[in-house]
């Protein structure tokens, strides 16, 4: 396999751009292709069958670009489809759940880790399984927070309503000796201020983006597949929905003009 | 390969026990075999040929225990022998340099990273190469600190002499916009107080132990080779020199009684 092959990153929408930004920062030589399934976002409330079907479809689309790795930058898709995708392709597949779990195990002193995420992610118990696979005696306190994504999508990051919603949803977690809280949804880092105020400054908030990028770097280096070129790579972005908003958010978030291709699925599967 | 195979960790002496402790904490199911080459420590001032020979010899010794991974927990040995060992065995080999470099790239905002280590490590430019492999434009300021290991080995962690020695050695690095300093020798974390005072609290000190253990975890999980047993593993330790001091330090550092086997090389190669 040649090292100029890209890293493919997929997400239900724009949340996975946090992972892209970290990969760009930590591995500036690597070319990235990104697929945001904005026509069908959010995945959180969908059935596992739907999420599985959508994820497979996106992987089939991205695989034609011969990526050297697939990054599932969506917690819900990782929870539901990671092992299926892993066994269907012969390149490494990195999700956002194992890196987040590993970071929490590396950081906790109390051995009690909190996890918040969408209903799909929490229902799957994927974080619990990942945490216990690493460390059998870790205590895991999980909470689905279905009201957080709508708040973020309305840009409502620091209002009184946001603080009240966050307190209602996770205030009870303070009863446990949690010293690490995994933000198990790529939207949640926007609510860091409110979450931190509710949980207290001594609780470390773990966002998967940085950890996932570091794991991408470690695995590519272990496989000797890091890109070698000194030329700046040109990344490519695809989205299944309306492109203007995606372009706006991506340009703003990544600090550069992106090359975006809207994708129209041949067989419409929009639920 | 079966998952009950151990992780082999090797070091010139006791410094690599910091990596062992982190692997035990982050991956409590994993069995570890450790080799401390206490008869020939320290490796820092030795020639590359000597370090290469010693490392090969230890790997040949450990390989009879059928490890699933080799961790070179010594900066000097990693700098000199890592790629040679990698191409001589068919299991993953993890050194301490790539994880430390990756952590620095993940954390720096100024793009200027400091590295301190033994003469052997700094002379090899291994950190510089690893940092640039990840990120071509990072600025690297390196400094060999040959007087640090003797201070640590005398248990002289916080004396006036220690502060003066540290200031003499690395005070000049303050002239650069370094925001991460890699402690490129497993002895240096003992001098954290003095190093931090000289560099200033805003400079993050990066010790490889935690980062290396996290990388061991990521690579084993990616290869689906994490241990599954819920039984507490029994680790095994080997040292080439006088066993009493090794046992004392290891018991104290790891907080448990270790199982130690002194090893007498059949062909004496003590320099």
pLDDT in tens, B23-35: 999 999 999 999 9
In the predicted structure, residue A229 carries a pLDDT above the cut 90: no
> CB of B99 within 8 Å of any CB in chain A?
yes
In the predicted structure, residue B122 carries a pLDDT above the cut 90: yes
Task: For residue B3, name the pLDDT band (cuts at 50, 70, 90).
Answer: very low
Q: Which CATH class is domain B7-96+210-262?
A: alpha beta
* CATH 3.40.1410.10 for the A7-95+210-262 domain, yes or no: no
The kind and range of the H/E element at A133 are: helix A126-134
Q: What is the mean pLDDT of chain A?
A: 92
> CB of A134 within 8 Å of any CB in chain B?
yes
In the predicted structure, residue A231 carries a pLDDT above the cut 90: no
Q: How high is the ipTM of this complex?
A: 0.81
In the predicted structure, residue A1 carries a pLDDT above the cut 50: no
d(CA B51, CA B74): 11
Whether residue A134 and residue B26 make contact (CB cut-off 8 A), yes or no, is: yes
Report the 10 Å Cβ neighbour count for A67. 22
Beta-carbon contacts of residue A186 (< 8 Å; ≥ 6 apart): A11, A15, A16, A18, A19, A73, A74, A75, A96, A208, A209
Q: Is B185 part of the annotated catalytic residue set?
A: yes
* Rg, Å, chain B Cα set: 18
Task: Write the pLDDT tens digit of every residue in A65-118.
Answer: 999 999 999 999 999 999 999 999 999 999 999 999 999 998 999 999 999 999
CATH topology of domain B98-208: Rossmann fold (3.40.50)
Spell B161-185 as b/e; 16+ CB within 10 A means b: ebbebbeebbeebeeeebbbbbbbb
Q: What is the pLDDT of residue A269?
A: 52
Report the 10 Å Cβ neighbour count for B189. 16
Whether residue A226 and residue B133 make contact (CB cut-off 8 A), yes or no, is: yes
Least CB–CB distance from B214: residue in A94, A106, A221: A106
Task: Write the pLDDT tens digit of every residue in A8-20.
Answer: 999 999 989 999 9
Q: Where are the alpha helices (DSSP H) in chain B?
A: 17-26, 48-63, 75-88, 97-107, 119-124, 126-134, 148-153, 160-170, 192-199, 208-222, 243-254
Q: What is the pLDDT of residue B266?
A: 57
Residues of A annotated as catalytic (active site), given as ranges: 74, 185
Whether residue B135 and residue A27 make contact (CB cut-off 8 A), yes or no, is: yes
Q: Do B10 and B37 touch, CB atoms closer than 8 A?
A: yes
d(CA A177, CA A55): 36
Contacts of B137 in chain A (CB under 8 A): 28
In the predicted structure, residue B271 carries a pLDDT above the cut 50: no
Phi, psi of B49 (to 5 degrees): -65, -45
Q: What is the pLDDT of residue A27?
A: 95
Query: How large is the average pLDDT for residues B140-150?
Result: 94
In the predicted structure, residue A268 carries a pLDDT above the cut 60: no
Domain boundaries of chain B, sorted by first residue: 7-96+210-262, 98-208
Whether residue A213 and residue B106 make contact (CB cut-off 8 A), yes or no, is: yes
In the predicted structure, residue B144 carries a pLDDT above the cut 90: yes
Residue in chain B lying closest to A103 (CA)? B214
Task: For residue A266, name the pLDDT band (cuts at 50, 70, 90).
Answer: low
Percent of chain A with pLDDT over 90: 75
Whether residue B134 and residue A102 make contact (CB cut-off 8 A), yes or no, is: no
Q: Do A146 and A118 touch, CB atoms closer than 8 A?
A: yes
d(CA A219, CA A208): 16
Mark which residues 207-226 of A lie under 8 Å from B by CB: 210, 213-215, 217-219, 221-222, 226
Catalytic residue of the set B112, B145, B180, B185: B185
């Amino acid at each position: 396999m040649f090292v100029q092959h890209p890293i493919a990153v997929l997400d239900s929408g724009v949340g996975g751009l946090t992972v892209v930004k970290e990969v760009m920062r930590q591995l500036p030589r690597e070319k990235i292709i990104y697929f945001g399934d904005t026509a069908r976002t959010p995945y959180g409330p969908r059935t596992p069958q739907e999420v599985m079907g959508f994820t497979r479809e996106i992987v089939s689309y991205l695989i034609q670009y011969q990526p050297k790795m697939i990054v599932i930058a969506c917690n819900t898709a990782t929870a539901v489809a990671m092992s299926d995708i892993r066994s269907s392709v012969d390149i490494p597949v990195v999700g956002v759940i194992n890196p987040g779990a590993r970071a929490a195990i590396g950081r906790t002193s109390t051995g009690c880790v909190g996890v918040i995420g969408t209903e799909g992610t929490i229902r799957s118990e994927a974080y619990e399984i990942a945490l216990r696979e690493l460390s059998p005696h870790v205590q895991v306190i999980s909470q689905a927070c279905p009201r957080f994504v709508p708040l973020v999508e309305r840009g409502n990051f620091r209002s009184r309503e946001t603080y009240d919603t966050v307190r209602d949803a996770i205030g009870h977690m303070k009863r446990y000796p949690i010293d690490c809280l995994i933000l198990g949804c790529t939207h949640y880092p926007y609510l860091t201020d409110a979450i931190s105020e509710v949980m207290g400054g001594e609780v470390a908030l773990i966002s998967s983006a940085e950890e996932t990028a570091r794991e991408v770097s470690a695995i590519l280096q272990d496989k000797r597949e890091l890109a070698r070129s000194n030329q700046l790579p040109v990344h490519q972005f695809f989205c299944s929905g309306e492109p203007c908003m995606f372009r706006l958010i991506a340009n703003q978030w990544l600090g550069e003009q992106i090359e975006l291709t809207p994708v129209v699925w041949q067989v419409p599967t929009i639920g």
